[in-house]
Amino acid sequence: MDSDLSPQDKKDLDKFIKFFALKTVQVIVQARLGEKICTRSSSSPTGSDWFNLAIKDIPEVTHEAKKALAGQLPGIGRSMCVEISLKTSEGDSMELETWCLEMNEKCDKDIKVSYTVYNRLSVLLKSLLAITRVTPAYKLSRKQGHDYVILYRIYFGEVQLNGLGEGFQTVRVGVVGTPVGTVTLSCAYRTNLAFMSNRQFERSAPIMGIIVDHFVDPPCGVQRPANVGHPCNYRAPDEDDGGLFAGVQDSQEVCTTSFSTSPPSQCVCTLSPSPSKLSKPLPLDSLQLPVAPGFVTHTLYTSRLNYHPPALAGAADLSHPAANPNQVLHAGKEGGVVLVPAHPHAADAHLTAEHPPNTPGSSGDDDGMSQSGEGRSVSPSDPVESLNAFTRKIGAFVNKPTTQMTAANLDLPFAAFAPRGLDSEENDPMVQPPDSPACPSPLQASLHSQGSESSGQQDDFVMVDFRPAFSKDDLLPMDLGTFYREFQNPPQLASLSLHISSQSMADDLDSLPEKLALYEKNIDEFDAFVDMLQ
Amino acid sequence: MNCRSEVLEVTVEARQVEEAMLALLHTILLHRSTGKFHYKKEGTYSIGTVGTMDIDCDFIDFSFVRVSSEELDRVIRRAVSEFKDALGNSGSDGMGQISLEFYQKKKSRWPFSDECIPWEVWSIKVNVVNLANEQERQICREKVGEKLGEKVINVVEVINRHEYLPKMPTQSEVDNVFDTSLKDVQPYLYKITYQITDSLGTSVSTTMRRLIKDTLAL
């Protein structure tokens, strides 16, 4: 008995296996597209429906499969593998499953190629259709879109299952014996999907973190193609862009909140991005400050003062823009931007006393604005208007009926700070900034100039009633709000004030020779001390 | 020859019975259907193409693939619906079994009627439970989905053993092996029957409805 295949049978068998491999890839990739597949039955046979199954051929997939096969056929030791992985919009990726089409040495010599093998391959393809809907990756692929996409990769050679994590499961789809070997189709799928959420959590912590993608290690011995994975969908990449865009917006918002220690710069930041951001209360809600940073604010300002000594000289002159009421944007505690005029209120003795120390920041702002805008009065541009409009809304967030917000009710402190229109407040007593040495922080200066590019300057300001959250009525002599107001403007730290520090520096330098002489005199003592330690 | 018999067991909620049965029966029939045969001269034939479609279940976290044939789907749905009603009417316990039997017809001489010789029988035992609250139902949704997945893997495993299948018939014999009544696909001859067991576990109710898909009417 002739144990060798007839040439025709061999040719047929090779063709069957080749097209089986191509159809296998199509079925797997199409099952991960995220859409329901539907093909029609046809009673009259068409020449292109291999294995009597209506499986569409996506050209790119066929191309990739042919490229991976490179003219070879799955054989012993040469498996065709389709790797399905998931990639999040942040760039994390994770292998979900690997489908393997393998050939082993077990031959079935007696089987009829053109009939039995063909039909059995057809049944195996149907089994593949069924099993691809059962593995966990199917559900994931149906939900792909904004957050993640499913990618596929075809490779030929040794099976790599390292990326599937611990405890991966294997399901055998089926086997078909042929005269040259047994075709086996199986799937190894990851079960540990929780790992992904942990990784995402790690990655999202650093704001501008560099993504170290060590999941995509090339397995040793296999040359990975340059294009690692192909998306299992054919939608326009708008989803990705949307996802990326959202990411960028997030980082913008994060950047915004990272300025929370310096309220004016924070507000300027929100002016420069698109006005649409301003219309949303949400980003500015993130500017909410607790009480403490109020102190940090000023420390930050004053520390920055050290870096711009030249500005100090000019700052003093510009610190009294009497005719130029500038606004100091000061974050309030109500979860929004509270625009506080940069001058003490005559009606409130507390505030008058407090504001002079406040001037480093406020004057700094003035200076910053002046520097950038030369004290010109610029009509507010749209972002600023919308900001002010929003600020007026802040007043509405106040826990009081609207009637009490009118200036008529003078029993309340800061009643004069009730929201008013956007008219210029020329004679507002709060406009006058007290005098003090001040210079703008470089941060502010740069940001203000940024702001002025897009928004210009604002002469007017809107006063909002300063009501700290969760505080009771202003009936007690010392409530939270008063406490805050009293202590929000501490005096400058001596060590941080410029001239004192420079003075001490000079003193230090002068005293150095004396100190050195003293140490030289006592050198024996020092030596004895060192010996003692040894 | 011996008839191959496989038993699958599932525990479902009442509203999941229909979809669970459809999922399993269609999965089996997908593997046991071919395209329409077109016989040509000289004893050769060509086979039509079988299309497939994805079906999502509403009450179970599961999707399955069935043959794209509305006629076949209608027949299966009718059978499953009857089974479901019978289960519902039987009592609170709700245990039953639906069987899908593939058989061959063997022509006998007159006056004997044709013999139906089964070569593969799939029995799906169903256990209906009642759940108290929505949370349990949600868990049940997912669990039944997983279980059905396991059953599909079982079915595929059995089928891929490539054990006995009827020989491909000649044109004159095709109706003894295949159900040729459908326009677009050609499953092997099959019949669906069901049994309802009461709480005592015995098939007291002897309502054995036969839905015979072969040419019953002689």
Q: Which residues, other chains included, contact A170 with Cβ-Cβ below 8 Å and sequence gap of 6+?
A: A186, A187, A188, A189
Q: How many domains does chain A have?
A: 1
CATH number of residue A20's parent domain = 3.30.900.10
Which of A71-85, A492-506, B186-200 holds the top average pLDDT? A71-85
Peptide bond into A310 cis (omega under 30): no
Cβ contacts (< 8 Å) between B141 and chain A: which residues?
A: none
Q: Between A3 and A133, whose confidence is greater?
A: A133
Per-residue pLDDT at A135 exceeds 70: yes
B70 touches A: beta carbon within 8 Å = no
- Report the pLDDT value the prediction gives residue A307, as an integer from 0 to 100: 38
Residue A340 lies in a domain: no
Which of A18-22, A216-220, A325-329, A407-411 holds the top average pLDDT? A18-22
A54 touches B: beta carbon within 8 Å = yes
Residue A200's nearest CA partner among A98, A97, A33, A86 is A86
Contact between B160 and A123 using a beta-carbon 8 Å cutoff: yes
Per-residue pLDDT at A138 exceeds 90: yes
Alpha-carbon distance of A261 to A521, in angstroms, equals: 49
Smallest CA–CA distance from B36 into chain A, residue: A43
What's the angle, vertex CA A227, arms to CA A223 and CA A229, rounded to 5? 100
Pair A181, A102: CB distance under 8 Å: no
* Phi/psi of residue B211, nearest 5 degrees: -105, 100
Contact between A42 and B152 using a beta-carbon 8 Å cutoff: no
Alpha-carbon distance of B35 to B33, in angstroms, equals: 7
Look up residue A417 and give its DSSP letter. Answer: G
- Report the pLDDT value the prediction gives residue B46, as an integer from 0 to 100: 86
Q: Helices in A132-215 by DSSP H: which ranges? A: 136-142, 194-204
Mean pLDDT of B157-171: 88
Residue A108 lies in a domain: yes
Average pLDDT for chain A: 63
Pair A413, A485: CB distance under 8 Å: no
Residue B156's nearest CA partner among B34, B62, B31, B64 is B31
CA gyration radius for chain A? 37
Cβ contacts (< 8 Å) between B120 and chain A: which residues?
A: none
Tens-digit pLDDT profile for residues B166-198:
888 888 888 999 999 999 999 999 999 998 886
Residue A18 lies in a domain: yes
Q: Between A171 and A323, whose confidence is greater?
A: A171
- Residue A156, strand partner residues: A80
User: What domain range is A118 assigned to?
Assistant: 7-189
Mean pLDDT of B106-130: 87
The number of C-alpha atoms within 13 Å of A432 and in the hemisphere containing its C-beta is: 9
Alpha-carbon distance of A342 to A361, in angstroms, equals: 9
Torsion of CA A393, A397, A400, A404, to 10 degrees: -10
Name which of A43-57, A239-253, A370-384, B17-31 the model is least confident about: A239-253
Name which of A209-213, B16-20, B113-117, B178-182 the model is least confident about: A209-213
- Return the structure tokens found at A352: 């008058």
Q: Against a cut of 0.90, is the pTM above it?
A: no
Mean pLDDT of A15-43: 93
Mean pLDDT of B205-218: 43
Per-residue pLDDT at A422 exceeds 90: no
Percent of chain B past pLDDT 90, that is, above it, reads 60
Residue A353 lies in a domain: no
- Report the pLDDT value the prediction gives residue A320, as an integer from 0 to 100: 42
Pair A68, A155: CB distance under 8 Å: yes
Name which of A137-141, A434-438, A526-530, B107-111 the model is least confident about: A434-438
Contact between B184 and A129 using a beta-carbon 8 Å cutoff: no
Contact between B49 and A37 using a beta-carbon 8 Å cutoff: no
**Shortest alpha-carbon distance between residue A298 and chain B (Å):** 53
Mean pLDDT of A285-291: 39
* Helices and strands, counts by H and E, chain A: 17, 8
Per-residue pLDDT at A199 exceeds 90: no
Cβ contacts (< 8 Å) between A138 and chain B: which residues?
A: 63
Per-residue pLDDT at A341 exceeds 50: no
The two beta strands, B190-197 and B95-106, are antiparallel
- Report the pLDDT value the prediction gives residue A228, as an integer from 0 to 100: 59
- Report the pLDDT value the prediction gives residue B139, as an integer from 0 to 100: 92
Pair A261, A299: CB distance under 8 Å: no
B181 touches A: beta carbon within 8 Å = no
Smallest CA–CA distance from B38 into chain A, residue: A44
Tens-digit pLDDT profile for residues A450-460:
434 434 444 45
Mean pLDDT of A111-139: 91
Contact between A53 and B52 using a beta-carbon 8 Å cutoff: yes
Residue A100 lies in a domain: yes
Which of A28-32, A503-507, B172-176 holds the top average pLDDT? A28-32
A48 touches B: beta carbon within 8 Å = no
Q: Which residues, other chains included, contact A292 with Cβ-Cβ below 8 Å and sequence gap of 6+?
A: none
Mean pLDDT of A469-489: 68
Residue A177 lies in a domain: yes
A131 touches B: beta carbon within 8 Å = yes
B136 touches A: beta carbon within 8 Å = no
Residue A531 lies in a domain: no
